[in-house]
Amino acid sequence: MSNTPSDDVVLLAHGSGGTLSRDLVSGTVLSHIGNPTLRRLDDSAVVEANGRIAFTTDSYIVDPIFFPGGDIGRLAVCGTVNDLSMVGARPLCISLALIIEEGFPTSHLDRIMESIHAACDESGVEIVTGDTKVVNRGKADKLFINTAGIGAIAQAIDVSGHNACPGDRILLSGTIADHGVAIMGSREGLSFSSEIESDCAPLNGLVSAVLEAGGNAVHAMRDPTRGGLASTLNEIAAQSGVSIRIEEGQIPVAPGVRGACEMLGMDPLYVANEGKLVAIVSPEVAPAVLEAMRGHRYGKSAIDVGEVAQGKPGRVTMRTLMGPTRLVPMLAGELLPRIC
Amino acid sequence: MSNTPSDDVVLLAHGSGGTLSRDLVSGTVLSHIGNPTLRRLDDSAVVEANGRIAFTTDSYIVDPIFFPGGDIGRLAVCGTVNDLSMVGARPLCISLALIIEEGFPTSHLDRIMESIHAACDESGVEIVTGDTKVVNRGKADKLFINTAGIGAIAQAIDVSGHNACPGDRILLSGTIADHGVAIMGSREGLSFSSEIESDCAPLNGLVSAVLEAGGNAVHAMRDPTRGGLASTLNEIAAQSGVSIRIEEGQIPVAPGVRGACEMLGMDPLYVANEGKLVAIVSPEVAPAVLEAMRGHRYGKSAIDVGEVAQGKPGRVTMRTLMGPTRLVPMLAGELLPRIC
């Protein structure tokens, strides 16, 4: 009978709003991520904010929920911290909403909550409000997580995908395609010659370094997640009404990741990242921003990969290693479902 | 082949982050709920806030997604508007995150987006940021929605489940159990003698009326959703360290709902509501607050149902129609899974 309480798995009754919901929240959630604001358990958290704030949301449905280099919990915190950071905001607080499949092991929930706690600590944010729902077995796949976040934007900051200007340099914080290949590898049970790990990381520290070095000359930032670097650059080119030109020879791909992509027939330009960013900055600050990025743990391999040009609005082109220039369109169709 | 674009159903590729994602967002989401902030499609929305803000989140997994009196979209907007309102906040903006099962009809998505649009209009909020994910067929149940919300709290307001004081009156805005019975009826295909509709509604207008009439003497508010009125009163009694006494004879239940509860063996005190609130206020303002509630379309049957007392912290009791007083514990186990 699924309504009998158990220490081992999540039951439908854990989503009832009654005593078992309270026990699950107190025992499994608050024990890992509790703080004075969250512990009040009112219908809304109350926080202080003044001026312009950033607000974002993402749901995480990654499969598998544990993968080399991270898990769905770390991904859910980092993804939202990064979305806030990409408009130049300092992340303040995050919400956490769980949709759990009946029968999900509470030991897994504990691991994920601990991972959420660690990612919050690393990025300096707190979970201040949340929600837990449980659906019948077979009506969801183990665990889906939604996080929303609020960040504070300093007065002078105006960073947006709409602000790229002809002449701007395109700076990439490191190797691409690590996350997607790690997920693909663990999902398919592939063994690569080297263990490939997701790059899943909170980028707010790196963004602080970028903004400190580049100030107002930082025009756009984005983390190339679903759809990869190619889709992100297409989005920015379209939003800003500019062309973008990149150099294939400049784009770093780890050798193991490159090999895996070749084996799997995937173009790394379209494979998701979860700990990388693209910063589009005025040419005069590009060297200083690049140096600042390289001084940060998540930007050691930062590199200038191309430029913004007048050209046809929305067009992204790449000068290939072989010499000729080719069009880099947005991802069409689906490469890897449930990558994040 | 599931990757072929189609006008009729949502495909895995609609969650890719590529061109089909863009098409789904532009065609189905923005066409209904677009506004200048949302249309920017940056990683975060940028909004203005000053002072104390309320922040909340809820995921909606209701089954079925269309039910008498509402649908999952209206529920998702109202639920978050209401959670913001219950701490005395004026809702400012909302996020919308969709998890869609592959094969979900786009016509249903259109209906739900239109319903979200109508609920936003009614409550005066905008969707400013969002996310769309698609999971393989059989890995989610049609559609799950998460909304998070931000609200502004006026300087003088301090409304919390922790603030109930002995002597306070307990005001209930109307009949209970309508939502849960409507869901149960439509799920089981039961035909009641009268059509029973969910009470799903945005309560921010009603809350404004309560605060205007009661000011600082409004100590706590909560909308009795999952777990019903009984669980909500237990939560407040525990948080505030007080006892609560209610009168069974005062609690309004529509005749059709009462009949359905008897038929189904459910106690209306534990059945979910989605358009009702409990306001706990100082006795001297209770008549004025009650009058203000009755003047609002969602508070016409508002009534004083009991009082806060010193007694044992966390205890809720009810004087029954038959005379004796009985304990009203928090919901144990599960009454109706996936009610919201």
Of B19, B270, B335, the CB nearest to A330: B19
One DSSP character per residue, A68-135 reads TTEEHHHHHHHHHHHHHHTTTEEEEEEEEEEEEETT-BHHHHHHHHHHHHHHHHHHT-EEEEEEEEEE
Q: How far apart are the first and last CA of chain A?
A: 34
Taking the C-alpha atoms of residue B74 and residue B79, their distance in angstroms, rounded to an integer, is 8
Q: Which residues, in sequence order, are bridge partners of residue A222? A: A278
> pLDDT at position B3, please?
40
A314 in contact with B, Cβ within 8 Å: no
Contact B96, B32 (CB under 8 A): no
Cβ contacts from A onto B, under 8 A: 294
CB neighbours of B23 closer than 8 A, spacing ≥ 6? B5, B14
Task: Decide if A46 and B56 are in contact by the 8 Å CB cutoff.
Answer: no
> pLDDT at position A189, please?
78
B21 in contact with A, Cβ within 8 Å: yes
Query: Which residues of chain B does A269 touch, with a Cβ-Cβ cutoff of 8 Å?
Result: none
Residue B103 C-beta-side C-alpha neighbours within 13 Å: 9
Query: Which residues of chain A does B57 touch, with a Cβ-Cβ cutoff of 8 Å?
Result: 95-97, 129-131, 146, 148
Q: Which residues, in sequence order, are bridge partners of residue B58? A: B147
pLDDT band at A1 (very low <50, low <70, confident <90, very high): very low
Secondary structure element (H or E) that encloses residue A246, with its range:
strand A243-247
> pLDDT at position A193, please?
62
Helices (H), chain A: 19-24, 31-33, 36-39, 72-85, 106-123, 178-188, 204-214, 228-240, 255-264, 286-294
Task: Decide if A45 and B22 are in contact by the 8 Å CB cutoff.
Answer: no
> pLDDT at position A6, please?
54
> pLDDT at position B2, please?
40
Task: Decide if A141 and B135 are in contact by the 8 Å CB cutoff.
Answer: yes
Contact B275, B203 (CB under 8 A): yes
pLDDT band at A131 (very low <50, low <70, confident <90, very high): very high
Taking the C-alpha atoms of residue B22 and residue B7, their distance in angstroms, rounded to an integer, is 14
Taking the C-alpha atoms of residue B29 and residue B51, their distance in angstroms, rounded to an integer, is 31
Residue A334: pLDDT above 90? no
Contact B159, B233 (CB under 8 A): no
Structure tokens at A282: 């005025």
Contact B144, B96 (CB under 8 A): no
Residue of B nearest to A6 (CA): B333
Of B63, B153, B226, the CB nearest to A16: B226
Q: Which of residues 84-143 of A touch B (CB under 8 A)?
A: 84, 86-87, 89, 93, 95-99, 128-131, 133-136, 138-141
What HEC string does chain B produce? CCCCCCCCECCHHHHCCCHHHHHHHHHHHHHHHCCHHHHCCCCCEEEEEEEEEEEEEEEECCCCCEECCEEHHHHHHHHHHHHHHCCCEEEEEEEEEEEEECCCEHHHHHHHHHHHHHHHHHHCCEEEEEEEEEECCCCECCEEEEEEEEEEECCCCCCCCCCCCCCCEEEECCCCCHHHHHHHHHHHCCCCCCCCCCCCCCCHHHHHHHHHHHHHHEEEEECCCCCHHHHHHHHHHHHHCCEEEEEHHHCCCCHHHHHHHHHHCCCHHHCCCCCCCEEEECHHHHHHHHHHHHCCCCCCCCEEEEEEECCCCCCEEEECCCCCEEECCCCCCCCCCCCC
Mean pLDDT, residues A265-277: 96
Contact A209, A292 (CB under 8 A): yes
Amino acid residing at B56: T
pLDDT band at A4 (very low <50, low <70, confident <90, very high): very low
Of A46, A131, A337, the CB nearest to B52: A46
Of B12-21, B156-165, B277-286, the one with minimum mean pLDDT is B12-21
Query: Which residues of chain A does B240 touch, with a Cβ-Cβ cutoff of 8 Å?
Result: none
Task: Decide if A87 and B43 are in contact by the 8 Å CB cutoff.
Answer: yes
Q: Which residues, in sequence order, are bridge partners of residue B307? A: B169, B245
Q: Which of the residues B30, B37, B57, B143 would you substitute to probe the A interface, choosing the one with the greatest number of A C-beta atoms within 10 Å?
A: B57
Tens of pLDDT along A62-76? Answer: 999 999 999 999 999
Query: Which residues of chain B does A239 touch, with a Cβ-Cβ cutoff of 8 Å?
Result: 40-41
Task: Decide if A151 and B44 are in contact by the 8 Å CB cutoff.
Answer: yes
Of A178, A207, A216, A213, nearest in space to A81 by CA: A207
C-alpha dihedral, B43 to A30 to B89 to A97, nearest 10°: 40
Sign of the alpha-carbon torsion through A194, A74, A227, B134 = positive
Q: Which of residues 168-197 of A touch B (CB under 8 A)?
A: none
Burial B162-172 (b: 16+ CB within 10 A, else e): bbbbeebbbbb
> pLDDT at position B193, please?
62
Burial B46-64 (b: 16+ CB within 10 A, else e): bbebeebbbbbbbbbbbbe
Q: CA of A257, closest CA in chain B: separation in Å?
A: 20
Percent above pLDDT 90 for chain B:
88
Using only C-alpha atoms, chain B has a radius of gyration, in whole angstroms, of 21
Task: Decide if B86 and A44 are in contact by the 8 Å CB cutoff.
Answer: yes
Tens of pLDDT along B99-152? Answer: 999 999 999 999 999 999 999 999 999 999 999 999 999 999 999 999 999 999
- Domain regions of chain B by residue span: 12-153, 169-327
CB neighbours of B305 closer than 8 A, spacing ≥ 6? B170, B171, B172, B246, B247, B250, B251
Which CATH code of 3.40.1190.20, 2.40.37.10, 3.40.50.720, 3.30.1330.10 fits the domain covering A12-153? 3.30.1330.10
Tens of pLDDT along A225-235? Answer: 999 999 999 99
Q: What is the DSSP letter of A331?
A: P
The CATH architecture assigned to B169-327 reads Alpha-Beta Complex (3.90)
Residue of B nearest to A82 (CA): B43
Alpha carbon A68 to its chain's center: 16
Q: CA of A328, closest CA in chain B: separation in Å?
A: 12
Q: CA of B211, closest CA in chain A: separation in Å?
A: 17
Contact B182, B198 (CB under 8 A): yes
> pLDDT at position B91, please?
97
Of B45, B46, B231, the CB nearest to A18: B231
Q: Which of the residues B21, B26, B44 would you substitute to probe the A interface, choosing the one with the greatest number of A C-beta atoms within 10 Å?
A: B44
Task: Decide if B87 and A43 are in contact by the 8 Å CB cutoff.
Answer: yes
Structure tokens at B225: 């959703």
> pLDDT at position B189, please?
78
ipTM over 0.90: yes
Task: Decide if A332 and B146 are in contact by the 8 Å CB cutoff.
Answer: no
Phi, psi of A22 (to 5 degrees): -60, -40
Query: Which residues of chain A does B225 touch, with a Cβ-Cβ cutoff of 8 Å?
Result: 17
Residue whose tokens read 């038929």:
B263
Query: Which residues of chain A does B19 touch, with a Cβ-Cβ cutoff of 8 Å?
Result: 329-332
Residue B327 neighbours by CB distance under 10 Å: 8
Contact B199, B69 (CB under 8 A): yes
Residue A257: strand, helix, or coil: helix
Of A52, A149, A335, the CB nearest to B46: A52
Taking the C-alpha atoms of residue B232 and residue A22, their distance in angstroms, rounded to an integer, is 12
Residue A253: pLDDT above 80? yes
pLDDT band at B7 (very low <50, low <70, confident <90, very high): low
Taking the C-alpha atoms of residue B286 and residue B318, their distance in angstroms, rounded to an integer, is 20
Q: Which of residues 68-87 of A touch B (CB under 8 A)?
A: 82-84, 86-87
Contact A242, A312 (CB under 8 A): no
B62 in contact with A, Cβ within 8 Å: no
Structure tokens at B206: 């009603």
A7: exposed, middle or buried (C-beta count within 10 Å: 0-12, 13-18, 19+)? exposed
Category of A17 on φ-ψ map: left (φ > 0), alpha (ψ -120 to 50) or beta: left
Residue whose tokens read 């900051």:
A157
State the pTM of this model. Answer: 0.96
Taking the C-alpha atoms of residue B224 and residue B207, their distance in angstroms, rounded to an integer, is 14
Tens of pLDDT along B281-325? Answer: 999 999 999 999 999 999 999 999 999 999 999 999 999 999 999
Query: Which residues of chain B does A148 touch, with a Cβ-Cβ cutoff of 8 Å?
Result: 55, 57, 95, 97, 146, 148
Query: Which residues of chain A does B333 touch, with a Cβ-Cβ cutoff of 8 Å?
Result: 3, 13, 16, 18, 20
Tens of pLDDT along A166-180? Answer: 999 999 999 999 999
Residue A332 C-beta-side C-alpha neighbours within 13 Å: 4
Taking the C-alpha atoms of residue B274 and residue B266, their distance in angstroms, rounded to an integer, is 17
Residue B291 C-beta-side C-alpha neighbours within 13 Å: 8
